[in-house]
Amino acid sequence: MPPRTSKHLICTCLGLLLPLAARAADASSDFMSMSLEELMNVEVISASRYGQRLADVPAPIYVITQEDIQRSGARSIPEVLRLAPGVDMAQVNTDRWAGSMRSFTDVLSDRLAILVDGRSLYNPTFSAGFWNILQIPLANIERIEIIRGSGGSNWGFNAINGVINVITRHASTLTGTTVTLGYGSQGGPSSLIQQGQMLNEESWLYTHLQTESRNTLTTTDGQSARDDYRHMNAGFRLDAKDGPRTWMLSGLAYRLHSNGVYNSHTQPTLQTQDFFTDFLSGVNLHGRYREVLDHQSEIELNLSFLSNRFDADTLAQETQQGIDIELQHTIRTEGKHTLLWGLSLQEFSDKSKSGSLVRFSREEENLNVLSLFAQDEFSLAKNLKLTLGSRLDQQTHNPPALQPSARLQWLPTPSQNLWAALSQGRRFPSRLERVAQYSSGLYPNSTPGQLPYRVTTYGAKTIQTEKLASLELGFRQQLTPEFLIDIVSYANHYTNLRTQVQSGEPQVVNGTYLDIPLQSINRGELRTQGLELASEWRPKDNWRLQLSHSLSHTGPLREGDISSNSYYPKQIVSLRTSWTPHARIQLDGWIRHVTSRGNAEHQQLPAYTSLDLRGAWQLNQHIEASVVGQNLLQSHHTEFLAVTPALISSQISRSIMGYLKLSY
């Protein structure tokens, strides 16, 4: 779409919203649901595994509240995560994302711990959690706690770059019936039905059913990306209490039908591309029991079960079942110590059939992980605290991994927090890296007259655990009742990184292309440094501005293959504004700038800037209407070029969505 048309579209959106604002004659002063002081007093759990005031956390934490989620106009959790500084979420096509923090952005986000209410979504086959199976209605999320940097001392293996904990709402906060309908130019129809009720004075239950579909985008060469999808999920949450004891039981069932395009190595020419369909389905159950033993001690028991099926002819067909049991005990001693210890046992059973790009040496594998963790926060002097923690993970196919951390914190005033941290992180190799072989797509040869080539990487049982040593410095302060600032600097040193070396001579296949064999080894070393800024300003009670800026420098990858490099953008800037001119009217704007990034084929994606606008009108106590425009500055842009698997990226296009919410 030409720039002139883009300007007309933006003006049209504003024109639809401004008349609503003009009717704001009797606006009240209580517009934002949470003041900065209340935000700093929010109790968070992801940094230390027990409740702490957000203002007191000695870690690079960022909290995305339900109000942030609602007013962002985002349609999925990966979009919402872009609100946080230091988080790089790049959309590959309609429902596939590449994500990370501080380094190593990839489709398989294998250096992050992705949690739901503390329950891990870890997939041992790919050592990652897939973003498109994170099927939780945004309206059911209370907040998202994001810890940037190593969280291994608390949450274990694969948390070396960060922890994302999606915390769902207590059942007592979702009573009544709510129906939300949506439709748009790019997204197909969507619907969400929620029903909540009080069972008795001590227990509540809510259920939901959500469906969503989205239309296909185009590839970078202008062809159809065939990446339309259909999602459906249903779930429930039950909360109950009895004095000092509380229970929670939640469940979710989902089914995804997701299409796409990839470079096939079975075709004789580069011009031929194959279409594929992924079917994903699963059931998750999570139970939690918590009891306050006395005013200084509490115990928590978590039990979760999962059963997932991943059916993709291009990658693999996988059936996975897992169970996770975790016990945690917290003890406080007269304000001097807060001691936490616990243990967990995870068991996974995987059955996999090879696809056209991935082949396993054996179809079935079991994995057990036994973990022990402990942490002690104690006072060295007035307003000076030291937190020492460590976690030991023992996995079936790897030697034990110890992940210690030390955090020093100075609180000169209740609104100031200065802290420093030293930590070590570990990432266990996946089943894919140990006992499988996987192929890239077909690429043109840079040597004139030579055949195109593909790369086949062979796993190795001798592959070892990746290591991280991290230093962080942070400062957080509410400078005034209207202004908050949070600054973090970090230096990371990655060693033992998985990389590849050529293990034999290239072979000509059917006279049409070369197959280059590679072997997985641990040889890579990388250093990264960065600075992350988050700030919020409330110039008026009904107006909020949020600015975040991430600066990152990635050094050269030593002794490693270029495909293992960190393609994290040097800068990500985000500016959001939320204005409530009337108690029934909300106007929001969000502008993001992401600098250029490269990929393993030396291709460079240009920088891009996106603009999202949202307007909502509460017609009466039962009906709310809203409209969201995304990527309004340009007709389309590409955010990521995937390397493995050989997925062809789509061009992310401009879109307009409308929603109608009925509550009664």
pLDDT 10s digits, 182-219: 998 877 789 999 999 999 999 999 999 999 998 888 88
Distance CA 247, CA 242 (A): 9
The predicted pLDDT at position 155 comes to 93
551 token code pair? 């600066």
Q: Strand pairing of 187-200 and 162-168? A: unpaired
Quote the CA–CA distance of 397 and 661 in Å, as a whole number: 50
Question: Is the pLDDT score of 220 beyond 90?
Answer: no
Per-residue pLDDT, averaged over 515-542, amounts to 92
The confidence band for 271, taking pLDDT boundaries of 50, 70 and 90, is very low
Cβ(263)–Cβ(285) below 8 Å: no
The mean per-residue pLDDT over the stretch 635-660 comes to: 84
Distances (CA, A) of 463 to 243, 293, 348, 456, 496: 50, 45, 20, 17, 10
> Greater confidence, 129 or 286?
286
Q: What is the pLDDT of residue 77?
A: 94
| pLDDT of 628 | 96
The reported pLDDT for the residue numbered 441 is 67
Reference 264, options 229, 313, 224, 317; nearest CA is: 313
Nearest one of 147, 85, 106 to 571, comparing CA atoms: 85
Rounded Cα distance, 103 and 87, in Å: 9
d(CA 107, CA 125): 14
Number of domains in the chain: 1
User: Which CA distances in Å does 452 have to 50, 165, 270, 444, 502?
Assistant: 55, 43, 8, 4, 17
What's the pLDDT score for residue 643?
60
Per the model's pLDDT, the better-predicted residue between 253 and 215 turns out to be 253
Confidence band of 586 (pLDDT split at 50, 70, 90): very high
| CB-count burial class (<10 Å; 0-12, 13-18, 19+) for 606 | exposed
Longest dimension (CA), the chain: 78
The continuous run of DSSP H or E covering 15 comes out as: helix 3-22
In contact, 417 and 58? CB cutoff 8 Å: yes
Higher-confidence residue: 346 or 16?
346
Tell me the pTM.
Answer: 0.91
**647, containing H or E segment:** none
Residue 663 pLDDT grade (very low, low, confident, very high; cuts 50, 70, 90): very high
User: pLDDT tier at 258 (50, 70, 90 boundaries)?
Assistant: confident
Query: Where does residue 185 fall: left (phi above 0), alpha (psi -120 to 50 degrees), or beta otherwise?
Result: alpha
What is the pLDDT confidence band of residue 603, given thresholds at 50, 70 and 90?
A: low
The number of angstroms, rounded, from the C-alpha of 363 to the middle of its chain's C-alpha atoms is: 29
Taking the CA atoms of 270, 95, 165 and 546 in sequence, report the sign of the dihedral they define.
positive
Interatomic CA distance for residues 383 and 216, integer angstroms: 56
Which residues span the domain enclosing 378?
3-663
Residue 513: which pLDDT band, with cuts at 50, 70 and 90?
confident
CATH number assigned to the domain comprising residue 408: 2.40.170.20
Q: Is the pLDDT confidence value at 279 over 50?
A: yes
pLDDT band per the 50, 70, 90 thresholds, residue 358:
confident
Residue 346 in this model has a pLDDT that exceeds 90: yes
Mean pLDDT of 643-656: 79
- 562 pLDDT band, cuts 50/70/90, is low
Instruction: Specify the long-range contacts of residues 172-175, CB closer than 8 Å, at least 24 apart.
Output: 172/198, 172/204, 172/239, 173/142, 174/140, 174/206, 175/204, 175/206
Mean pLDDT computed over 633-656: 82
Predicted pLDDT of residue 112: 92
Question: What is the predicted pLDDT for the residue at 263?
Answer: 63
Mean pLDDT taken over the chain? 87
Residue 271 or 178, more confident: 178
Rounded to an integer, what distance in angstroms lies between the CA atom of residue 660 and that of residue 664? 13
Q: What is the C-alpha separation between 126 and 364, in angstroms, rounded?
A: 14
Residue 443 has pLDDT above 80, yes or no: no
Q: What phi and psi, each to the nearest 5 degrees, are found at residue 40?
A: -65, -20
In this predicted structure, the answer to whether residue 13 has a pLDDT above a threshold of 50 is no
Helix, strand, coil proportions of the chain in percent (round to 5)?
10, 60, 30
